Amino acid sequence: MLKYLLPFIAAFALTPNILAQEYFEKELTFPAGSTPEQKIELASKVVPDERQKAWQDRELTAFLHFGINTFTGREWGDGKESPALFTPDALDTDQWVKTLSDAGFKMVIITAKHHDGFCLWPTATTDHSVASSPWREGQGDVIAELRKSCDKYDMKLGIYLSPWDRNASCYGDSPRYNDMFVAQLTELLSNYGKIDEVWFDGACGEGPNGKRQEYDWLRFRDTMKRLQPDAVLAITGDDVRWVGNESGMGRETEWSVTPLVPSIYSYSDSVNESLQITPMSKNIGDREIIEKADKLYWWPSEVDVSIRPGWFYSSSQEPHSLRRLADIYLQSIGRNSVLLLNIPPDTSGRINEKDVKRLQEFRTWIDDNFSKNLIDSLPATINTVVLSEDINHGQRVEKFEIQAYVDTVWTPLAHGTTIGKKRILTFNPVKTDSLRLRIDSWRGDRYYATIDGAYRITMPGDKKIIERAYPEIEGVKSTLKKSTLTLKADSVIPITGFVYTPSDDKTTPLVYRYKVEASNSGRSWRPVKTTGEFGNIEANPIEQTVIFEKVIKARYIRIECTESINGKITPTAFKITLLGPKQ
């Protein structure tokens, strides 16, 4: 039998006032005068509440980005889209939920309203909703249909409601819009049964009055607690934390116990700046940070990523390879996080068959690799170990090493820092009949870490099958002057659009807003109508395709960056490829 051995754990004494409370549920304020040693001891006693534990147990949640953007090919709509565009004539929420249930998901979160303000339910707060669309003759309700499907397949339901609303005329008039938002939230949390997760991102902009909207986050949270007390509030909330990227990767050192103040609190920016941490920081819970802090939170990580490059369905994109999904699984669930994987329904109102196939392959890969635990085999060849901590006692392990007994010697296989709810480690295959977990550093009087499994997994091959619907125009020369890129073809040719490819270097500036002009001579320019922005480019810097409303004939295309992110535009930041007509 594969065995795991734990080293002897020494206990040390603490002053009586520190030992007075055994655990601190969800948050802890340090007593005045706490020493650094006492703060670390107290950090070991911070534990999740029951809602957070249930949420972490689910491991795999599906995001459904669906709405007006599905029909425009945009990542962020501007709120000016006509509801008549919303025509998912074959919408089938049973197909959504059954597909996701078969793939192992425990909950789905639907974008009830995205930044464009279009509501997937017939709300009393605005006409910008399904009630104004031809779908179901204006009598449709996507949320109601999804609720029935979730009940049918025993799937939990979550709601994404965008605070940023680019359609609402009252946006920017903070009290009025907050009233509207609470009314929308109340409808969703009152009329659609049990909701298990509410998802607010922090997107914010200026309203028609030119003023930046100020959200009443605590009022929003109190509304959720009153109407759905068992739900967790994600991202702009204090139950679930954004991991800090949209690439599907958790940290190598992922602490659920952190002094990072949730942005739902008005003082979060000032405190986090004083601690020199952000949601994107490499480490948000080490000793040095805790020793400077006044308060700690149990605030576990959710890793959000899409199965396709973008968040909304686009016929020009393909699902990621199975290898990419396998890597995401190991780097999210395998790094003390819950995986929130987006699967966007297409314009018909169904999950696209290519995504269905990829999800089936993903489920098969998980089952084939993690269903046979070799911990009871003798001997066994393994290349993967699964560890966990009993988070009922907090998160305590700071440094560890996995060792195997090979040729009468304890041989190191892998090492790491944090473990948390689940940690998956891979290494070169080794044949052994004994494993041990050596804890080199921990918090508190003891730790609660175990080896849960040993496996021999195989990683799928990585094949690219992405083809552009529009061919690239070759022989184009480009020049950049200040923030304007001019592209010159060999002659006047038909041009259907262009592709913007952000740099892989995270320090390189990004183009956010832009305008496009065309010319035959390079002297007289005419405007080309486009959306004028690359939505979500900062959080998800992926290749973005812009297709013009109609094919234009020109020799020159001029693209001016009117707003950038992270600095002045440089040649490496402005990689543009012109596209020709479909062949």
pLDDT in tens, 239-285: 999 999 888 999 999 999 999 999 999 999 999 999 999 999 999 99
The C-alpha atoms of residue 383 and residue 429 are separated, in whole angstroms, by 4
pLDDT at 3: 41
Report residue 121 as tokens: 């339910």
Alpha-carbon dihedral of residues 234, 104, 56, 276, nearest 10 degrees?
A: -60
Tell me: cis bond preceding 379? Omega within 30 of 0 counts.
yes
CA distance 203 to 540: 14
| Nearest Cα to Cα of residue 265 among 314, 221, 305 | 221
Mean per-residue pLDDT, 513-527: 94
- Say which CATH superfamily domain 477-579 falls into: Galactose-binding domain-like (2.60.120.260)
Per-residue pLDDT, averaged over 144-148, amounts to: 98
pLDDT at 2 over 60: no
* Residue 378 and residue 389 in contact, taking contact as beta carbons nearer than 8 Å: no
CA pair distance 560, 265, nearest whole angstrom: 38
pLDDT band at 307 (very low <50, low <70, confident <90, very high): very high
Average per-residue pLDDT for the chain = 92
- Amino acid sitting at position 125: T
Burial class (CB in 10 A: 0-12, 13-18, 19+), 277: buried
Within 13 Å and on the Cβ side, how many CA atoms surround 203?
23
Q: What is the 8-class DSSP label of residue 75? A: S
Residue type, 177: Y
Distance from C-alpha of 349 to C-alpha of 336, rounded to nearest angstrom: 34
- The answer, yes or no, to whether residue 233 has pLDDT greater than 90, is yes
- Per-residue buried b or exposed e for 296-313, using 16+ beta carbons within 10 Å of the residue's own CB: bbbbbbbbbbbbbbbbbb
pLDDT at site 17: 62
* CATH class of the 51-370 domain in this structure: alpha beta
Residue 467: is its pLDDT beyond 80? no
Helix (H) or strand (E) holding 188: helix 174-191
E-strand stretches of 249-294: 257-258
Residue found under tokens 């812009």 = 546
> Lowest-confidence range among 249-263, 349-363, 461-475?
461-475
Give residue 468's pLDDT band: very low, low, confident or very high (50, 70, 90). low
Per-residue model confidence as pLDDT tens digits over 476-500: 999 998 889 999 999 999 999 999 9
Percentage of the chain exceeding pLDDT 90: 79
Q: In angstroms, how far is the first alpha carbon of the chain from the final one?
A: 62
Look at residue 19 and tell me whether its pLDDT is greater than 90.
no
The token duo for 486 is 């001019």
Averaged pLDDT for residues 338-367: 98
Instruction: Name the E strands within 114-201.
Output: 156-161, 197-200
| Res 570: pLDDT | 79
Indicate the pLDDT class of residue 506, thresholds 50, 70 and 90: confident
Per-residue confidence at 6, pLDDT binned at 50, 70, 90?
very low
Nearest-5° angle of CA 472, CA 474, CA 475?
155
Give 142: exposed, middle or buried? Use CB within 10 Å, 0-12, 13-18, 19+: buried
Single out the residue of 319, 359, 426 nearest to residue 99, CA to CA. Answer: 359
**Residue 13 predicted with pLDDT over 70:** no
The pLDDT-based confidence of 110 (bands split at 50, 70, 90) is very high
CA 401 – CA 308 distance, rounded (Å): 35
Non-local (6+) Cβ contacts of 367 within 8 A are none
Query: How does 366-397 read in b/e, with b if 16+ C-beta sit within 10 Å?
Result: beebeeeebbeeeebebbbbbbbbebebbbbb
Q: Enumerate the β-bridge partners of residue 61.
A: 107, 340
Cα separation, 73 vs 90, whole angstroms: 18
- Pair 197, 107: CB distance under 8 Å: yes
Domain boundary assignment for the chain: 51-370, 477-579
pLDDT at residue 20, rounded to an integer? 67
Q: How confident is the model at residue 10 (pLDDT cuts 50, 70, 90)?
A: very low
How far is the C-alpha of 510 from the C-alpha of 503, rounded, in Å?
8
Residue pair 223/189 in contact (Cβ under 8 Å)? The answer is yes
CB contact set of 81 (below 8 Å; sequence gap of 6+): 68, 72, 116, 118
Each residue's pLDDT tens digit, 312-331: 999 889 999 999 999 999 99
